[in-house]
Structure 1
Amino acid sequence: MNKLLLNWLSTGPASQQLISFDHHDIMTGSLFCAQVAHLHAQLIQSDAQRWLLAAKHSDLFAAGLCATLLAGKQVILPANTQRGTLSELNHEFDAIIADTPLCEVREYIALKKELSLPAATWPKTKLLGELVLFTSGSSGQPKAIKKTLQQLDAEVSILEQTFAEHLPHCSVVSTVSHQHIYGLLFKILWPLAASRAFLSEQIDFPETLSYYLAIMPNLCLISSPAQLTRLPDALENQKQQRIPSLIFSSGGPLNFDAAQAVKQCFNQLPIEIFGSTETGGIGYRRQQQPMQPWQAFTQVNVDMDPQDGALMLQSVYLDNPTQWLKCDDKIELLTDGKFRLLHRLDRIVKIEEKRLSLAQVEHLLQTHPFVSEAAVTVLEQPRTMLGAAVCLSELGQQTLKAEGKLAVNNALKNHLLSQFERITLPRRWRYPAHLPLNSQGKRTQSEIVALFSHD
């Protein structure tokens, strides 16, 4: 099971390995090999070293990824292909390999499905390339995160060791992008290395998921909190006749009520993965109960900083596997590699000249029986104050309907007074059905603030 990805990259797929599929087409190992060899031949003729990779369909993306890595090049993965994103990364790449010309550069290799290519052998190499992913840094500027094939191989191998027994002969479908580390690992690299076919298109609608569940017996669903939170309502909260073999969620902790709603529809709880682009996977859980602990992966050690309760991490996925990395998450450390996530430590603001943690305010709000989820942000108009966006529990919704918004506001303010001075409490309150999240399941500051743009 060790070096699962590296061994696969050294030999390539078997000719009959099913690489990918969609509603009208499949890609076999022999066709994929021909695609990769065709792209590889173009790449090794180029002096360009840093190649930005992007493609809508995952089969073309995978072919471009393998060819570029086997050519010993550096693969640049942007979070998206918006003009502003590419402009910010302008000095980070020399050439583009993509399904469409994205901007004016010196070199461009087109990713397209070539059905008439001659049979070819898998490219051999002594020096594999590396990946560079870009995430949002604390300053708001893109932050480059380098990943070696050895690090990605360790992650793929451990995922297979941890979950393979639950995935017999599964194919993989996904609602998340392969341009990010979660989708890259779970939809592309892990399935390739473990000979599991993946859906080449991204699932954007519940009807599409239902279609593939109806025609394929064993599917593994790769999704995120943003999508899983909405999925049960789209399925009218009805128990489904065809269900995935396994459901994964990552990008942030899934709300407990949402996890239970997914179980109501699919007769199973999602497996949540906790980690980041920088750290790789840290732990996993299924929410049998609120505040369910996380279990650290094999070869990942967790500890707690005695000063501020921060998560301390030692992992084979890091550049230095023996060094401890301090993270920005406050945890409660349990036994046998288990821990509870409490809140982030790095969101400190000043309200009326008093420092407080937005994460701590959110955490305390979420302990109130009226609240299922909360996001707190700083509002600058008409003056600096806090705004709280709260998704209400069933009890909270009943109280709101029976007693009105002022009664709910006051109940939550009184709850916050146990830890915060009145002058620092949120002045403005919103009660949306869902908190706005992007496609990676992350809260975006601008969309939370936008909830308060109208009175």
Structure 2
Amino acid sequence: MSDPAGGTPRGTGGFPARAPEELLAAGFDALADRPWSARWDEVADVERLVLGSLPDTVVLHTSGTTGERRAWPRTREQLWAEAGLLADLLRPYRPEAAVSFAPPRHLYGALVSVLVPARLGVRAWYRPGFFGALPPVAGLRVAVMAVPWTFRLLLEHPAWVDSAADLTVLHSTAVLPASAEEFRVATGGARIVEVFGSTETGGIAHRRWRGGNPLWELFPDVTAVAGGDGEVPLEVRSPRLAGGARSLRTDDFVELVDDRRFRFGGRRGRLVKVNGRRLNLDELEVALQGAVRCADLALVPVADPLVGEHVDLHLVPVPGEDPDLAAAFDLIGLRPRRVLRVGRIDRTETGKMRRVGS
């Protein structure tokens, strides 16, 4: 980490400088495992450099959390257009630097670690894991490109956070963890911007998160295909869909409020009905994270011979501690079928739990 007090490290050690043209030539996958920094603010014609360096087609993959990894091709123009939309979410806050924790081998990481800083014309740092140095950002207006564990890291480095002149957190890839609310409260209302999307669709919608479940607003080039009243599977049209698709139906259930906004209900595979009660496991996990002191936890849907659907709790305990699970279960109104104490929960680089059998 930076230093014992969580302050800003001196110098730029730990972030080798990479020329922007070198980053683009290396390919996104080659940029994921080691820290680096780049000066997009020193590139005269960044669009010409990016479009002239990327291949005509860039293939990115799903993370494999719900099945086999699958390749999704996109044109360089689609990627550059999406980077522009994400950059536009940050422009009102006038960032001067970007610090990213999102691996570039995935679509979100390729965008926010490489192409969004290029669009903004700012200096960029990339750090691939929880441990290691933090870049010197004192006095700068900073955009933090986050994955779920980033909020815990920021909470552990309050002096680093406070050293920035301004800080905006951009988050995608998963439901916000409980530590996001802790961070928002600890900082007196930190600015958190969320992006809703997937590898196959790209960015679908965005929102400024201030707690709760605010409505999502579609990006300007996205339209939702009407699917009836109440909660329906979200189907979208967009010029940025992978593989040349004209429309795609997602695994997400939403309530369309109007032509441009929706309320997220949950993801297929994370919505279960136990004893007649429909449960959003992502929301319940966030509630448990705030109530149970542990290293990690996950609710896993399982088949049950008596009630049909149920859930197991996978818990990574803190050594030497025995959390009060009964109180936590009362809080969420659910007692899992089983509590499995495990050494670790297998997650992707972006924090999603990999597929678990029942």
- Match of 1:176, SS state, is coil
State the match for 1:331 in structure 2.
Answer: 254
Q: Distance in 1 between matches of 2:53 and 2:160?
A: 51
Q: Distance in 2 between matches of 1:327 and 1:61?
A: 35
Match of 2:351 among 412, 435, 441: 441
Q: Distance in 2 between matches of 1:212 and 1:371?
A: 31
Mark the CA change 1:208 to 1:306 in structure 2 (over 3 Å): closer, same or farther. Answer: same
Relative to the length of structure 2, the TM-score reads: 0.69
Q: Distance in 2 between matches of 1:32 and 1:360?
A: 48
Mark the CA change 1:311 to 1:203 in structure 2 (over 3 Å): closer, same or farther. Answer: same
Mark the CA change 1:370 to 1:442 in structure 2 (over 3 Å): closer, same or farther. Answer: closer
Map 1:310-349; keep pairs closer than 5 Å: 310-318=233-241, 323-335=246-258, 337-346=260-269
**1:380-405 Cα distance to aligned partner (Å, 9 max, x none):** 9xxx98443389xxxxxxxx98xx64
State the match for 1:224 in structure 2.
Answer: 147
Q: Distance in 2 between matches of 1:231 and 1:60?
A: 19
Aligned residue identity for 2:351: G
Q: Distance in 2 between matches of 1:181 and 1:264?
A: 30
Q: Distance in 2 between matches of 1:371 and 1:58?
A: 29
Q: How many residues align?
A: 323
State the match for 1:260 in structure 2.
Answer: 181
Q: Distance in 2 between matches of 1:125 and 1:300?
A: 27
More helix by share: 1
Aligned residue identity for 2:254: I
Q: Distance in 2 between matches of 1:123 and 1:344?
A: 34
Map 1:370-389; keep pairs closer than 5 Å: 375-378=299-302, 386-389=310-313
- Match of 1:270, SS state, is strand
Aligned residue identity for 2:174: G
Q: Distance in 2 between matches of 1:368 and 1:181?
A: 24
Q: Distance in 1 between matches of 2:57 and 2:182?
A: 40
State the match for 1:163 in structure 2.
Answer: 90
Q: Distance in 2 between matches of 1:300 and 1:286?
A: 18
State the match for 1:302 in structure 2.
Answer: 224
Q: Contact conserved, 1:240 with 1:265, CA < 8 A, in 2?
A: no
In the alignment, structure 1 residue 276 sits paired with structure 2 residue 198? yes
Map 1:5-20; keep pairs closer than 5 Å: none
Q: Contact conserved, 1:390 with 1:429, CA < 8 A, in 2?
A: yes
Q: Distance in 2 between matches of 1:150 and 1:254?
A: 29
State the match for 1:420 in structure 2.
Answer: none
Shift of 1:148: 0.5
Shift of 1:127: 9.8
- Match of 1:251, SS state, is coil
Gapped regions of structure 1 (runs ≥ 5): 1-20, 41-50, 64-120, 350-354, 392-399, 417-424, 450-455
- Match of 1:331, SS state, is strand
In the alignment, structure 1 residue 135 sits paired with structure 2 residue 135? no
Gapped regions of structure 2 (runs ≥ 5): 1-10, 41-47, 292-297, 316-321
Mark the CA change 1:429 to 1:233 in structure 2 (over 3 Å): closer, same or farther. Answer: farther
Aligned residue identity for 2:205: G
Shift of 1:32: 4.9
Q: Contact conserved, 1:285 with 1:295, CA < 8 A, in 2?
A: yes
Mark the CA change 1:410 to 1:281 in structure 2 (over 3 Å): closer, same or farther. Answer: closer
Q: Contact conserved, 1:232 with 1:265, CA < 8 A, in 2?
A: no
Indicate the RMSD between aligned Cα atoms, in angstroms.
4.9
Moved more, 307-316 or 52-61: 52-61
Match of 2:79 among 152, 164, 167: 152
Aligned residue identity for 2:59: V
**1:221-247 Cα distance to aligned partner (Å, 9 max, x none):** 11112332x235524x78953245211
Aligned residue identity for 2:111: L
What percentage of residue pairs aligned between the two structures are identical? 22
Shift of 1:287: 2.4
Question: Radius of gyration: which is bigger?
Answer: 1
